Structure formats: C-alpha cells, structure tokens
Structure 1
Amino acid sequence: MTEQTWTPLEIEAEQAGGAQELVDRLTALGGELDSLLVQEKALVFRGFDVPADDLDDVLGVVLPRRLAYVHGNSPRTKVGGNVYTSTEYPPEFTISMHNEMSYAYAWPARLAFYCQIRPGGGGATPVLDAARWLESLDDEVREAFAGGVRYVQNLHDGYGLGKSWQATFETDLQEEVERFLDGTGAIWKWKGDGGIRVESVRPATTRHPVTGAEVWFNQADQWHPAGLGDDTAAALAQILPEDELPQNVTFADGSPIPEAYVAQIRDRGLEHAVDVDWAQGDLLLIDNVLLAHGRRPFTGNRRVLVAMSD
C-alpha cells in the first residue's frame, strides 16, 4: 500500500480578500470549477475572510442548487436557506469519517464547509480519499460487505432518543414523509406510539460518476452500536432492545456486523485522513463521493456551517 501523499488544493486570496474577490475568481473559473474539484477532490479557499453575511453570494456560485438536509441522521440546526450547522456533537468527541448521507437513496454530490467561528484549539475537519479508505481495509472486511448493508431507523414522534421523524424529514406531515420514502426503495411502517421505523438496503461501495473510481461509501461504523463506544453502547443496551435503537445497521441479509470490522473501518479511516485546519472566513469545497470527512475534538466556540448540492 502506498503512503498517503494527497492533500487538498489550497487557493489563497491575492488582493484584499473578501467575498467579492472569491466570487469573482470562482465565476472566472466557470465550468472549469467542476473539473478542478473532481481532479483535486477538495479545494480550500484561504485568506478571503468571507463574512457570514456574504456567505450566500459565495454559495450561489459553488452550490447553485442547494439541498435541504432531508433524511439526515445527525443533529444540526438550520441557519439559512439550506445552510446548516455542522454536526452538533460535544466538542470532546471525534466524529469519524463518512461521506454525507451515503446511507440514503440519493446523496449530495458536493459539500461546502464555512468557518464562521475559528475553534480555540483543535477542531480540524479531516478529509479522506474514499478510494484509499477502501484499499486500506482487509480483504476479509471488503468481501463481507460485498452484499451491502441494511440501515434501520426508529424515529420518534417528538419525545425519545435520537432524532424525531419531524426533524429528520423537515415536515410535520406524515403524508410528506410517505411520499419521500416511496421513492427511495425503503421499507417503512408507522408505529403505535406515533414514530416510524425505516429499513433501507444500500451498497457498501459506489463508483464516482466521472472518474469511475470505486470508493468505500457507507456509514456502517457510525450506525453500529459499537461505533458509539463501549460505555454508551452498554447504556443504550440497558434501555432499549437492539431492534428499537434509534439507528442500527446489519449486513443486507440481517446478519450482525462484527464489532472488530466496525473498529477497523473507523480506525483506518481516521488514520489515513488529512486534517484541514480552520481560520475564520475559510471555505472548504469537497466532492462528496471521492472524499469522506469528519471532525477532530476542539476547545472554544467552534462554528462551522455546511451546505450541500446535487
């Protein structure tokens, strides 16, 4: 296995910076922006010091068709027109590597991260070549996942562990949830307590539509109870049976995924990731199929926003 040599392409401000210089440079690239992102996998725009009030102008160029975070599984807050806070887990925790919504029927093609408040310490966004992630796994693990994975969600009706179905699907109407799920190949049913159970079988890898590269593309390690850590998983097991957990994952045939596989996937992803450190006003644009991302622990008041597009 070759050593990791890839890093994102950094693009520095040349003049006074600011949103207008960045918009002008992005606009000048035109259609070349798409090919540059595929070639480089990630672009980091530094020194432009984009103010939060001007973020929409920049996102209008890099993400012309911003998507809502419908069927998203992580806790976050909507702060603008399809702009969200990044995952709101406590700062002392690492968020392991993942491609955004790789568990879903459809996923965003690209993501933009914007640093509104620089963390006091730590808080990098690690990014990982997803083809290298796949390559780094033992043959035994890759072969075990060849048939795909089954994701299971138990979404409550406003009170319970995990996210509610209202927050997950950004609606209070059951018929809108049903209409969304009917087009995804998922199996779902409403429960007597007002919640909903959703099961979806998805592949463990996918291929990039332009390069054809095969990449590791699932969130088995994040959905598996073992990915929560021993103490949290043990506490949840005392509260709920496995089939009632807010989210869970098995192999496609329903057989359990060994904890050792989960640990290998998580650890090798983090091992091969490249950290993107933040300064206030920085922007990171990534290809969501070619790259996975995560979050390092931090101190202080880190605030990173994220938006997605097809």
Structure 2
Amino acid sequence: MAEESLFHEPIGLLPQQKSYDGVLFPIVLSPNPTHPTTVDLTEAIKANRTYIDTLLHRSGAILFRGFPVSSASDFNDVVESSGYEDFSYGVGGAGSRTKVVGRVYTANEAPPHQHIPFHHEMSHSPVFPSKLFFFCEVEPGKGGETCIALSHVIYERMEQKHPKFVQEMEEKGLIYSRVVGDESDHSSPVGRSWKEVFMTEDKTVAEERAAKLGMKLEWMESAVRVIIGPKPGFIYDEIKKHKIWFNGVVGRFEDKLNNDPSKAVLFSDGTPLPADVSDDCSKIFDEECVALQWRQGDVLLLDNLAVLHSRRPLITLPRRVLASFCK
C-alpha cells in the first residue's frame, strides 16, 4: 500500500477552494475512507513527510480535515510529527498570544470583533518562521474565518494595478512605525508591551535587542515608538522564480496608541504611500483570498513565505484557534 493512500484529496469538500495554473489552493487532505482503520494524523504525516513537503511547495497551503484531532495536546503531537524545527515566538513578536502547551500558542488574542489584516508572520523581523500550523479547537458559530492568499498573485495584481508604486517600493523600500505601550493592551492585535516584545524591563537592553532586529526605539511618555526598516516590500523566491508580496501595506490595526494609520507605513525617504494603494490592495486580497470556515479538528499548514493570512471579525462566539511556528 502506497503511503499516500493514508490521505484522500476530496473534491468539493471546500467550495471556496481556488486553482492557479492547475494547482489547488489550498490542497485539502482527509483520511482515506478505504483505509481499514482510523487514520491518525500524526502517523500519516510521519509516514508522508516528503509527500507533504511536495504538496506544500506546490500549493503553499494544506488543510487537513476530518482527522481525530481534538485538543491542544493532540495538535502539539501533529506539529512534532512534521519534523519541522520549532520557532519560538519570542523577541520582536507584537501579537498578543499565550503559550498553551509544548510548541502551541493561542492565535492572536485581539478582541473577536476586530479584523486582523493580511500579513506574513513576523515579516518585520530579519528572522521569521518558514511554516505555520493552525488548529481549530472550538469551531466558531459565525464569522471568524481565517483568510489566506498567495503572495505572488497579490504581487502580480498590484504590479498591474499600481506599476509606479510597485517600482518605487522596490527602489526605496518601506519604513514601518508603531507605538508600543509600557503595559500590554489586549484590546489590540499588536498590544504586547515593549517589555513583552523585547523580553526585558531594561530600556538599554530593549534598544540593543531592537537594533539586532533592525529596529530603532524612540522613547515617549508611557510608551515607545518602534521604527522598523527600511525593509524591502517584496522577496524574490529563488526556487519558484517569482516575486512575492512581503510587506505590511494593508496592516492597519485598530490600535489607540497609533492615532494616525497613514504614517504606519511610509517609503524609506519618509514620503507617504499613494492614498489609494492600501484600499486597492485590500480589494485584491478580498478577490483572491480563500476564506476558511473552520470546522472543529481542522489543521492548516501554511508556507509563511508563499501565503499571507488574516482573520475576519467573529460574529458569534465562541472560537478558539491555536497556532504553532516552525523554522
């Protein structure tokens, strides 16, 4: 029996699934219904690591649906079974999250009514995870979809829509700034205090750690402005030979400390981005994304370079999605 026979690629299980050049996005894997026993996801992944890597490289996203994964501990076992090295969510991470067990964290703990814009995990840092796992422990009633989009598709469409902007972005690079408080604010998607972000209460140590991440700190009363960059707005994928959209142009968070979102992202020379760029990019994301309606037990594996993700507001509680990060 071929190892791949532990998995089944069902048709129509995910109606919003897309296809690019004949490759499905995301690829959906479920237990093979003809297998004589219950298919354990951890064992299936262990037996098919090369197969999984090939699918992930091809599509950028794999949804495992219908497997008996019910708890954070189960999810941690799934992550361990992948063989991917752990990426600890430590210095530099701005998202509010809590460690649950092993390599598992809560997904962003921002209030459920808030929209979390499209982003690559920790794209502002020189070191970021290469792969992400998400797990639905509690299925949401309504809303709360995790949306995913292919980075190179977004780049190509933005280059068609705003060629002058994309050229200028490539030539100049981008600078990001956000204000981080002395105390954590869990009402914000980027609400970790500077003490949590840099894992110290010493301002000098914080500045040293920030500098290693390419960040500059400007101290304010009861807060600090974190300036990141200049950073390129794209990355060239040497293997797939295309450019990917790797920036925070649409990263407008509801954050009371950052009272002027228009200054959150600037060209490296300090000039503002064209007024229509962010809105047009958001529209392209809406057109190209797959909005994943979570089912309890779902496990989603993403290539963090190839795919951006976001969260839609939750209309009906509860919802509990967990995350894990891999090198």
Q: TM-score, normalised by structure 1?
A: 0.83
Which residue of structure 2 aligns with residue 149 of structure 1? 174
Which residue of structure 2 aligns with residue 278 of structure 1? 294
Q: Distance in 2 between matches of 1:175 and 1:251?
A: 28
Matched, 1:60 2:80: yes
Give per-residue Cα distances to partners, 1:171-206, cap 9 Å, x unaligned: 4454553443232233334x2646433322111001
**Could you tell me whether the CA contact under 8 Å between 1:49 and 1:282 is conserved in 2?**
no
Which residue of structure 2 aligns with residue 41 of structure 1? 60
Q: Distance in 2 between matches of 1:145 and 1:208?
A: 17
**Could you tell me whether the CA contact under 8 Å between 1:117 and 1:301 is conserved in 2?**
yes
1:248 is displaced (CA, Å) by 1.9
**Could you tell me whether the CA contact under 8 Å between 1:188 and 1:197 is conserved in 2?**
yes
1:17 is displaced (CA, Å) by 4.8
**Could you tell me whether the CA contact under 8 Å between 1:17 and 1:47 is conserved in 2?**
no
Q: Distance in 2 between matches of 1:197 and 1:136?
A: 33
Q: Distance in 2 between matches of 1:294 and 1:159?
A: 22
Q: Distance in 1 between matches of 2:115 and 2:179?
A: 24
Give per-residue Cα distances to partners, 1:46-78, cap 9 Å, x unaligned: 111312122221111234323214312233333
In structure 1, stretches of 5+ residues that fail to align are: none
Q: CA 1:121/1:195 → structure 2, altered by over 3 Å: closer, same or farther?
A: closer
1:240 is displaced (CA, Å) by 7.2
Matched, 1:197 2:241: no
Matched, 1:221 2:250: yes
Q: Distance in 2 between matches of 1:64 and 1:240?
A: 35
**Could you tell me whether the CA contact under 8 Å between 2:181 and 2:223 is conserved in 1?**
yes
SS at the partner of 1:167?
helix
Q: Distance in 2 between matches of 1:135 and 1:45?
A: 29
**Alignment equivalent of 2:323, drawn from 297, 302, 306:** 306
Which sits farther off after the overlay, 251-260 or 161-170?
A: 161-170
Q: CA 1:302/1:69 → structure 2, altered by over 3 Å: closer, same or farther?
A: farther
1:42 is displaced (CA, Å) by 0.6
Amino acid at match of 1:181: A
Which residue of structure 1 aligns with residue 239 of structure 2? 210
1:117 is displaced (CA, Å) by 0.3
Amino acid at match of 1:143: Q
Q: Distance in 2 between matches of 1:173 and 1:57?
A: 37
C-alpha RMSD of the superposition? 2.7
Q: CA 1:11/1:178 → structure 2, altered by over 3 Å: closer, same or farther?
A: same
**Alignment equivalent of 1:297, drawn from 313, 318, 321:** 313
Q: CA 1:240/1:172 → structure 2, altered by over 3 Å: closer, same or farther?
A: closer
SS at the partner of 2:276?
helix
Q: TM-score, normalised by structure 2?
A: 0.79
**Could you tell me whether the CA contact under 8 Å between 1:75 and 1:88 is conserved in 2?**
yes
In structure 2, stretches of 5+ residues that fail to align are: 1-17
Q: CA 1:266/1:170 → structure 2, altered by over 3 Å: closer, same or farther?
A: farther
Matched, 1:92 2:113: yes
SS at the partner of 1:132?
helix
Instruction: Pick 1 or 2: higher relative contact order, CA cutoff 8 A, min separation 6.
Output: 1
Q: Distance in 2 between matches of 1:263 and 1:93?
A: 18
Q: CA 1:281/1:159 → structure 2, altered by over 3 Å: closer, same or farther?
A: closer
**Could you tell me whether the CA contact under 8 Å between 1:91 and 1:297 is conserved in 2?**
yes
Amino acid at match of 1:45: F
Which sits farther off after the overlay, 196-205 or 278-287?
A: 196-205
Matched, 1:288 2:304: yes
Give per-residue Cα distances to partners, 1:241-278, cap 9 Å, x unaligned: 75xx8x82211111112331111122211221012221
**Could you tell me whether the CA contact under 8 Å between 2:28 and 2:65 is conserved in 1?**
yes
Amino acid at match of 1:305: L
Count how many residue pairs are aligned between Structure 1 and Structure 2: 291
**Could you tell me whether the CA contact under 8 Å between 1:37 and 1:43 is conserved in 2?**
yes
**Alignment equivalent of 2:192, drawn from 138, 156, 163:** 163
Q: Distance in 1 between matches of 2:258 and 2:59?
A: 44
**Could you tell me whether the CA contact under 8 Å between 2:207 and 2:216 is conserved in 1?**
no
Q: Distance in 1 between matches of 2:91 and 2:283?
A: 28
**Could you tell me whether the CA contact under 8 Å between 1:108 and 1:309 is conserved in 2?**
yes
**Could you tell me whether the CA contact under 8 Å between 1:68 and 1:82 is conserved in 2?**
no
